[in-house]
Chains A and B, each alone.
Chain A
Amino acid sequence: MIPCPFEYYAPTTVAEAIELLERFGDEARILAGGHSLLPAMKLRLAAPAVLIDITRIAELRGISTEGMVRIGATTTWSEIEGHAGLRRAVPALPEAVSLIGDLQVRNRGTLGGALAHADPAADAPAVVLALDARIEARGPTGERSIPVDGFFTDMLTTALQPAEVLTAVVMSPLGAGEGAAYVKYRHPASGYAIVGVAAYVKLTDGQVSACRLAVTGAGPMAVRRSGVEHALLGTDGSSAAIAAAAAIASEGMDILDDLHAGEEYRRAMVNVHARRALAAAVERARSRI
Chain B
Amino acid sequence: MPVISLTVNGKTCIGEVEPRTLLVHYLREQLNLTGTHIGCDTSQCGACVVHLNGASVKACTVLAVQADGATITTIEGLAQNGQLHPLQEGFWQQHGLQCGFCTPGMIMAAADLLQRNPHPTDEAIRRGLEGNLCRCTGYENIVRAVRYAAEKLRAPTGAASEV
| Chain A residues close to B by CB (< 8 Å) | 1-8, 10, 31, 34-35, 38-39, 42-43, 51, 53, 55, 78, 82, 101-105, 107-108, 189, 191
Contacts and interface: CB of A to CB of B under 8 A. Distances in A.
Contact of B109 (A10, A43, A103): A103
B55 interface: yes
A10 B19 CA distance: 11
Given A53-B66, A108-B62, A103 B19 contact: no
Given A34-B63, A51-B19, A55-B66, A107 B55 contact: yes
Contact of B130 (A55, A78, A103): A103
Contacts of A39: 42-43, 61
Contacts of B113: 103
B20 A105 contact: no
Contacts of A10: 65, 68
Contacts of B44: 189
B118 to A, nearest CB: 15
B19 A104 contact: no
B41 A108 contact: no
A2 B22 CA distance: 8
Given A2-B20, A5-B18, A104 B56 contact: yes
Contacts, number: 79
Nearest to B54: A107
B82 interface: no
A10 B62 CA distance: 14
Nearest to B49: A104
Classify chain B's interface size.
20 to 34
Across chains A and B, which 9 residue pairs bring their CB atoms closest together, nearest first? A102-B131, A8-B19, A102-B130, A107-B55, A3-B20, A104-B58, A104-B131, A104-B56, A38-B61
Interface string B29-51: 00000000000011110100100
Given A103-B113, A105-B131, A6 B43 contact: no
Contact of B43 (A35, A51, A103): A35
Interface in B55-77: 55-58, 60-63, 65-66, 68
9 contacts: A34-B63, A42-B22, A42-B42, A78-B55, A101-B131, A104-B57, A105-B43, A107-B52, A107-B112
Given A39-B61, A108-B61, A5 B55 contact: no
A104 to B, nearest CB: 5
A43 B43 CA distance: 12
Given A103-B131, A107-B57, A108-B57, A8 B22 contact: no
B59 to A, nearest CB: 9
Contacts of B66: 31, 34, 53, 55
Max count, chain B CB within 10 A of own CB: residue among A2, A8, A102, A108 = A102
B20 A103 contact: no
Contact of A34 (B42, B55, B61): B61
A34 B65 CA distance: 12
Max count, chain A CB within 10 A of own CB: residue among B42, B44, B55, B66 = B66
Contacts of A42: 22, 41-42, 60
A7 B19 CA distance: 7
Nearest to B68: A10
B10 interface: no
Contacts of A82: 116
B145 to A, nearest CB: 17
B158 interface: no
